[in-house]
Amino acid sequence: MIMNMNQIHSVYFLGIGGIGMSALARYFVYLGKHVGGYDKTASPLTLELEEAGMAIHYEDDLAQIDAKFLDKETCLVVYTPAVPQDHSELNYFFDHKFEIKKRSEVLGLVTNETFCLAVAGTHGKTTTSSILAHILKEAQLPMTAFLGGISEDFGSNFYFQGSEFSVVEADEFDRSFLRLSPDIACITSMDADHLDIYGTGEELHKSFRAFAARLKVGGKLFVRNGLPIEGITYGIEDDSDYCAKNIEIIKGVYVFELQTPTVLYKGIRFKKPGRHNLLNAIVALGMALEANAKPEKLFSALESFKGVQRRFSYRIKNDDFVFIDDYAHHPTEINAVFEAITEMHPNKKVLAVFQPHLFSRTRDFAEDFAESLSKFANVLLLDIYPAREKPMEGITSEWLLQKINSQNKKLVQKSELITEIQKQAPEVLIVMGAGDIGLEVVKIQKAIANEN
């Protein structure tokens, strides 16, 4: 069991720059604790944390750890599985018997005493939890949110408005979500992913079933219609318990009716493109309604939802040019992006830029990636972003490129990317990937702005 919170004076994070870790770090700062940590590289996120007063360094060096984090009686150490087992700081804390917890353990302990709303699924977690947090905030529920992306409504991946309710992403990576005990949960999708952890899609499905069994007594589980788990179903124009009907697109905005088990609500508006995002909105509304939030406040809040950074984010949106940035790193997500672009920007010249994420994911889903990317007539492929992995023989972007059947496809280096985009002169540019491609987006936007 974790130390008594009053006994904790400082919290040290190994991997503090991770999106989930940084949300917890902000939480402990909010509680008035000394917070600091290590990360492998500086990033815009770590710089924000430093500006918030956190002591962060970027070398595995015990000498750089502030003395306030070296008292094992008052310091909690939180680490992510991405930190290698031979990390000297991690081993120091283990050897000296500090209170050490994985991020998922701490999140479970922090949220267990709240009315917890947890969002699970291989896709859609961040957008769904961000919609849910936003509409609960606007409905004035006393809520704390831990998000897996930067909400454009909060300007952060953490939000505090009280501690009676919590909104969390239930992450299937490393089976982290099995540390949570939600009151209301949802499963948005169960596509095979993280096969480096699970081995097979069936093992992944077993883990989702184990997560469903973690609900508190009397808890409610929402499940996208068609998934092989029982629960309250949600969907679009089908027989779901919570269902969007009579959908129209008016000036780029979805206008629809929501049929619930008891009431039909009309005239609901939602601005984020793509049927996948509409599904995310439906389940967020369903979870909030089951938490007894007032419907009229939820619906007005949904219309004002701005989105999440790198989730179909419009960086430029003019009549003659559109630039969209998206975190898509799985074939299903690329398909969803293609469908959203086709629906919202039909008959335009589209250029897709994709940075594959992980050698293992590229290997495991190569045929599916090729099929998804082949839907785009014009494709620029970057080298694979390795993240935590070492290179695998034969698994390269050149190998993947050969499988893609686009009219115009090319492997490019990041240094050539802006020149190649300008040469191709697309009407719609979509940049996708979960690696460091996000850092290129600002450069691309500046270059295009300077052209005009």
Look at residues 258, 279, 304 and tell me which one is the last residue of a structural domain.
304
In this structure, what CATH number is given to the domain that contains residue 241? 3.40.1190.10
Domain check: are 397 and 296 in the same one?
Answer: no
Do 354 and 431 share a domain, yes or no? Answer: yes
* Whether 292 and 355 share a structural domain: no
Residue 144 assigned ligand-binding role: no
Residue 121 marked in a binding site: yes
From 71, 102, 133, give the residue that closes a domain. Answer: 102
Residue 253 lies in a domain: yes
Same domain, yes or no: 277 and 402: no
Cβ burial, residue 310 (10 Å; 0-12/13-18/19+): buried
**More confident of the two residues 197 and 53:** 53
Domain membership of residue 242 (yes or no) is yes
User: Residue 401: phi, psi to the nearest 5?
Assistant: -55, -40
Q: Is 125 annotated as a binding residue?
A: yes
Quick one: pLDDT at residue 281? 98
Q: What is the pLDDT of residues 6-36, one digit of tens each?
A: 889 999 999 999 888 999 999 999 999 999 9
Residues 297 and 332 occupy one common structural domain = no
Total tally of structural domains belonging to the chain: 3
The answer to whether residue 4 is domain-embedded is no
> Is the model more confident about 90 or about 407?
90
Residue 331: HSE in the Cβ half-sphere, 13 Å Cα cutoff: 21
For residues 57 and 37, what is the distance between their CA atoms, to the nearest angstrom? Answer: 7
What pLDDT does 205 receive? 85
The verdict on whether residue 123 carries a ligand-binding annotation is: yes
The partner residues of 165 in beta bridges, in order of sequence, read 115, 143
Q: Does some domain include residue 107?
A: no
Q: Domain boundary residue among 64, 82, 102?
A: 102
pTM: 0.83
Instruction: Domain of residue 138: give its range.
Output: 113-304
Determine, yes or no, domain membership for 5.
Answer: no
| pLDDT value of position 1 | 44
Residue 117 and residue 98 share a domain: no
Q: Is 3 contained in some domain?
A: no
Q: Please state, for a pLDDT cut of 70, what percent of the chain lies above it.
A: 96
Instruction: Tell whether 144 and 245 lie within a shared domain.
Output: yes
Strands 322-326 and 313-317: antiparallel
Q: pLDDT tens-digit profile of 350-406?
A: 999 999 999 999 999 999 999 999 999 999 999 999 987 899 999 999 999 999 999
CA dist list (Å): 365 to 41, 193, 298, 369, 436: 28, 9, 38, 6, 20
| pLDDT greater than 80 at residue 174 | no
- Tell whether 122 is in a known binding site: yes
Same domain, 75 and 121: no
What is the CATH classification number for the domain harbouring 72?
3.40.50.720
**281 and 326 share a domain?**
no
- 96 annotated as belonging to a binding site for a ligand: no
Specify whether 369 is located in the same domain as 429. yes
Q: Does 124 show up as a binding residue in the annotation?
A: yes
Q: Is pLDDT at 451 greater than 80 in this prediction?
A: no
Q: Based on the domain organization, do 69 and 143 belong to the same domain?
A: no
- For range 273-300, the mean pLDDT: 95
Residue 55 domain-assigned?
yes
Amino acid at 434: A
* Residue 415: CATH number of its domain: 3.90.190.20
Q: Which tokens belong to 339?
A: 């469908």
251 confidence band (pLDDT: 50, 70, 90):
confident
139 and 234 belong to one structural domain: yes
